[in-house]
Amino acid sequence: MADLLLRNVVKRYGNYEAVRGISLEIPDTKFVALVGPSGCGKTTTLRMIAGLEDLSEGDICIGGRVINDVAPKNRDIAMVFQSYALYPHMTVFQNMAFGLRMRGLSKAEIRKNVEGAARILDISDLLGRRPRALSGGQRQRVAMGRAIVRHPKVFLFDEPLSNLDAKLRVQMRTEIKRVHQQVKTTTVYVTHDQIEAMTLADTVVVMNRGRIEQAGTPQELYHSPKTRFVAGFMGSPAMNFLPCLLEQNAAALTVRLADGTGFPVPESHLQRYRDAPGKPLLFGIRPEHITEPRGSVRGMFSEFTVVLDVVEPMGTETMVFFKLGGEAVSGRIDSGMSVPASGEKMRLVANMAHMHLIDPATDAVI
């Protein structure tokens, strides 16, 4: 186990900068997820850590030692890919033992490591089977087992769950988290799925166009995004963004939408927005903060009426879609509530304690 450091890491392919100066410190035993849209440079970053790509600039250190020029096999890193790349003619035991045999471990040591990892992954009964006789989830476990047996300093995962169906993905996600809690190996996990990143990682790193937009705990990124990109990327369905102006009336501030709808800014936010009145802004609010009026809660809730476009019952909640200030907006309604049909009016509240304002000139959250 060891800490991992990336210092101003750049990767160029010809004139194209795929990774544009990434610095990141991952303390020993921590789980970091790199998340971002396709092409943002997350796989390239992971491959540079693994040694499968050279760096154009910068340094990568493991346990305090610069490893830029260390061959992949000598980096003491184990990587789990999207395609599990198991040897089809070998049993599960042989697949997991392969790397250890290459390293010249004794038979007894190999057996102890493989059986230990198999217990952690709950695949002890499968050790005699060939990969073709395994389900997708079981193959994924074997691929993880092959990584665990090596007791590497760092685990790298590249979209390991994307070949699995939705239900299995959720199961394996929990499994990966459980395994990490047991083995505590420093981990970098690449995914385009923000839910996967948030559920698994101590630190989520949101990448965009070769740069880090923001790194922080899942809660920090979700509740205090620093840019419009992060605000829109984290959370599903995505945050609503509505063009607005901030009106000042004595000490009070009001978010004014294009159609005249006004939402009072809570007192707790007044200081932060003191320089914002007068310029065009974006009002950001998540769907779960637009709900049905809830009698018992008072204070930061601001009521308004909409005509519903679409109503989607989801079981645990009902999503409602409507136009507000000329923009398409979504809200989340408690599934126990009766919701009017599409085309009908509904009274809603915005929980302004969770409002965001974005400066469209810089895309920064104010």
Which of 78, 96, 67, 82 shows the shortest CA–CA distance to 154? 78
**DSSP letters spanning 212-253:** EEEEE-HHHHHHS-SBHHHHHHSSSSPPEEEEEEEEEETTEE
- Is 38 a binder of ligand ATP (CB under 6 A)? yes
When binding is defined by CB under 6 A, the residue of 10, 21, 39, 193 that contacts ligand ATP is 39
Q: Which residues pair with 231 in a beta bridge?
A: none
> Please, which residue, 16 or 106, has the CB nearer to ligand ATP?
16
Among 12-20, 54-62, 243-251, 283-291, which window interacts with ligand ATP (CB under 6 A)?
12-20
The first and second tokens of residue 177, run together, are 């988290």
CB of 200 closer than 8 Å to CB of 159: no
CB of 136 closer than 8 Å to CB of 84: no
Among 34-42, 213-221, 240-248, 313-321, which window interacts with ligand ATP (CB under 6 A)?
34-42
When binding is defined by CB under 6 A, the residue of 2, 5, 6, 40 that contacts ligand ATP is 40
Among 41-49, 65-73, 171-179, 301-309, which window interacts with ligand ATP (CB under 6 A)?
41-49
The first and second tokens of residue 219, run together, are 């809660």
Q: How far is the CB of 47 from ligand ATP (least distance, A)?
A: 8
Return the residues of window 186-215 that contact ligand ATP according to CB under 6 A. Answer: 192
When binding is defined by CB under 6 A, the residue of 22, 24, 42, 205 that contacts ligand ATP is 42
Which of 244, 325, 252, 254 shows the shortest CA–CA distance to 280? 244
> Which contacts of 169-174 are long-range, i.e. CB under 8 A and separated by 24 or more positions?
169/196, 171/137, 172/137, 172/140, 172/141, 173/199, 173/200
Among 40-48, 99-107, 177-185, 292-300, which window interacts with ligand ATP (CB under 6 A)?
40-48
> Please, which residue, 36 or 99, has the CB nearer to ligand ATP?
36
Among 31-39, 69-77, 85-93, 234-242, which window interacts with ligand ATP (CB under 6 A)?
31-39
Among 13-21, 100-108, 245-253, 342-350, which window interacts with ligand ATP (CB under 6 A)?
13-21
Cα 145 to Cα 142: distance, rounded to the nearest angstrom: 5
When binding is defined by CB under 6 A, the residue of 2, 5, 6, 18 that contacts ligand ATP is 18
CB of 358 closer than 8 Å to CB of 272: no
Q: How far is the CB of 94 from ligand ATP (least distance, A)?
A: 31
Return the residues of window 234-253 that contact ligand ATP according to CB under 6 A. Answer: none
Q: Which residues pair with 216 in a beta bridge?
A: 204
Contacts with ligand ATP by CB under 6 A: the residue count is 12
- Is 44 a binder of ligand ATP (CB under 6 A)? yes
CB atoms under 10 Å from CB of 363, counted, come to 16
- Is 43 a binder of ligand ATP (CB under 6 A)? yes
Q: Which residues pair with 203 in a beta bridge?
A: 32
Q: How far is the CB of 57 from ligand ATP (least distance, A)?
A: 15
Residues that bind ligand ATP (CB under 6 A): 13, 16, 18, 36, 38-44, 192
